[in-house]
Amino acid sequence: MRFQLTTLFAVASATVAVASPTWAALAAWAKGPGGQPAPLHTSTRPSISCQPHHPSQPPPSPPPRNRVCYVESHNDGVTDDSTYILNALHSCNNGGHVVFAEGLKYTIGTALDLTFLEHIDIDIQSYIQFTNDTTYWQANSFKFIFQNVTSFFKLGGNDVNIYGGGTIDGNGQVWYDLYAANIYTLRPVLIGIDGLHNSILSDLVLRYSPEYYHFVANATNVIFDNINIAGHSTSINVAKNTDGWDTYRSSGLVIQNSVINNGDDCVSFKPNSTDILVQNLWCNGSHGISVGSLGQYKGEYDIVQNVYVFNVSMHNTTDGGRIKVWPNTPSAVSGDLQGGGGSGMVKNITYDTMLIDNVDYAIEVDQCYGQSNLTLCLEFPSPLTITDVLFKNFNGKTSKKYQPEIGTFACSSATVCNNIVASGINVVSPNGTNLAYCLNVPQADLDVTCTTEYLGFN
């Protein structure tokens, strides 16, 4: 249905609200053919199903919304539209449908606490970009308690559905360059979730995040479907730590049917991530589907349990399926990433059906993460247990980096690793071998040829 502006105002009192409506602002909205105003419309909420595997609980099934709010925009790519956005979200909270109109550009220059959302659809048809004011964002972005995570905004609440096919842009290039000059720069994640429940994010394009694309904390029963992630640096400074998803203190998550081009973990299960399904992903340039890192903080007990990863295609990555645990001694990956000494458990993890294409290690189990001195790692083995882990139906070819090895199974002691199994591992290195470094893991459970020579430090 094509709405004319007069028609829009005629129905506004009954079903439609416009945040801070003014004739001048509406006239400046997106133009269609011939310079005429483009039609205002709402997107149909996608019907999401989880196939072929199903989560531990049914997907959210929200009711229809009863009113619509169109978000106003300055549409100049410079002026902060945060007030307009908050007005619309408050106006249509508890039963409404908020629309970021197609053809517009929205600019966000203010840190937004969106943890108040309840029973709302957010329909992003447009282009949203965060400002490049790194001084403001480092001082005002929301800080999480894990590592150095901060976010442009905090998304939380109950029964929140975000979709629409639009683009969210983190303006990452300025951050890639700044981090190269100062590794202690606090780079915001693109989508920071804190306390979101019974919600679905789908049909979104995410570009140029300064750091992680998603940090999902304190969330339950949330589905991510059909998310397109990409963002590379145009300078010599690499876009680092751009994980697709990092989960933390969350359960009942589904991540599926998505394409990820990034520079770090495609998906990473951080401490206390349980009951998670990942399926039907295409990952390029990443560091794999990773459990961890865990055991970073002394005195903390980390759990990752009941994770199923199915049908993932890995291209040009450092790892395929990966478990990374800090040893029981101070260690450092980099100046801004250090740790070791924490305990916990990894239990009931399955990696099922993975395509390996130019991947350095198809499988990596590493209890010496961050510690290049293997002798020191064995002297101070991790107290974090790894049990009931299955890698199966892996096919393809690794890169040349560690050939003749295609993977590593390295536990810091035999007492903390039990029932780690690899079956149907039809992966070879470029020279045709399928060797793997094995340490404190029974070879009988591994469908590879074990070697005691570790090439991972090379």
353-388 confidence digits (pLDDT tens): 999 999 999 999 998 887 777 788 888 888 999 999
- Where in 191-270 does DSSP place strands (E)? 191-207, 214-217, 220-230, 245-248, 250-261, 267-269
53 is catalytic: no
Q: pTM for this structure? A: 0.92
Q: Which helix (H) or strand (E) holds 349?
A: strand 343-359
**The pLDDT of residue 455:** 79
φ and ψ at residue 118, rounded to 5 degrees:
-145, 130
Select which of 74, 214, 287, 315 is catalytic.
Answer: 287
Fold of 108-116+127-451: Pectate Lyase C-like (2.160.20)
- How far is CA 176 from its chain centroid? 18
**Domain edges within the chain:** 108-116+127-451
Cβ of 415: how many Cβ atoms within 10 Å?
11
How far is the C-alpha of 311 from the C-alpha of 302, rounded, in Å? 27
How many C-beta atoms surround the C-beta of residue 182 within 10 A? 8
- Tell me what pLDDT residue 11 has: 29
Cα distance between residue 87 and residue 166, in whole Å: 20
Q: Is 151 within 8 Å of 191 (Cβ atoms)?
A: yes
Q: What is the pLDDT of residue 453?
A: 83
C-alpha span between 71 and 89 (Å, rounded): 9
The predicted pLDDT at position 49 comes to: 95
The CA-to-CA distance between both ends of the chain, in Å, stands at 62
Query: pLDDT of the chain along its 458 residues, tens only?
Result: 332 322 232 223 234 544 444 334 444 454 444 454 567 999 999 999 999 999 988 999 999 999 999 999 999 999 999 999 999 999 999 999 999 999 999 999 999 999 999 999 999 999 999 999 999 999 999 999 888 899 999 999 999 999 999 999 999 999 999 999 999 999 999 999 999 999 999 999 999 999 999 999 999 999 999 999 999 999 999 999 999 999 999 999 999 999 999 999 999 999 999 999 999 999 999 999 999 999 998 899 999 999 999 999 999 999 999 999 988 887 877 777 787 889 999 999 999 999 999 999 999 999 888 777 778 888 888 899 999 999 999 999 999 999 999 999 999 888 999 999 999 999 999 999 999 999 999 888 999 999 988 777 54
Q: What is the pLDDT of residue 37?
A: 52
Q: Residue 99 corresponds to which tokens in the numbers above?
A: 């629309």
Task: Determine the Cα–Cα distance for residues 385 and 86; give it in Å rounded to an integer.
Answer: 45
Alpha carbon dihedral 303, 305, 308, 314, in 10-degree steps, equals: 20
How much is the pLDDT for 457? 56
